[in-house]
């Protein structure tokens, strides 16, 4: 996942805030959103991130993948991440 250049990210206890420096809007991620976000930053693609979290939280990977795809879609919609040409965030 590649953060957009106009974005700043900071951790708060238990949450993450993403600041869009162009619009001045702040976006908050709760604990689960933070876990998704950090897994996506650590891994080269969505599949790897899903695999990591499914193992860590012992959850169904198909459901998790849907949730993470929706999460990525939300970040793209808000202009916070950039999507590679092959569609992988």
Cα–Cα distances (Å) from 8 to 11, 52, 64, in that order, read 10, 25, 26
What angle in degrees, to the nearest 10, is found between the helix axes of 31-42 and 46-57? 130
SS3 15: strand
Q: How far is the CB of 20 from other proteins (least distance, A)?
A: 9
User: Would you count residue 12 as binding other proteins (CB under 8 A)?
Assistant: yes
Give the binding range for other proteins (CB under 8 A) out of 17-25, 33-41, 57-65, 73-81. Answer: 17-25
Q: Which stretch binds other proteins (CB under 8 A): 18-26, 59-67, 68-76, 77-85?
A: 18-26
């Amino acid at each position: 996942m590649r953060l957009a250049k106009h974005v700043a990210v900071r951790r708060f206890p238990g949450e993450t805030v993403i600041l869009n420096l162009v619009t001045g809007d702040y976006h908050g991620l709760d604990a689960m959103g933070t876990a998704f976000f950090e897994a996506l930053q650590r891994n080269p693609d969505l599949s790897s991130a899903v695999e990591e979290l499914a193992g860590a939280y012992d959850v169904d990977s198909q459901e998790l993948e849907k949730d993470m795809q929706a999460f990525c879609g939300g970040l793209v919609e808000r202009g916070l991440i950039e999507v590679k040409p092959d569609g992988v965030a």
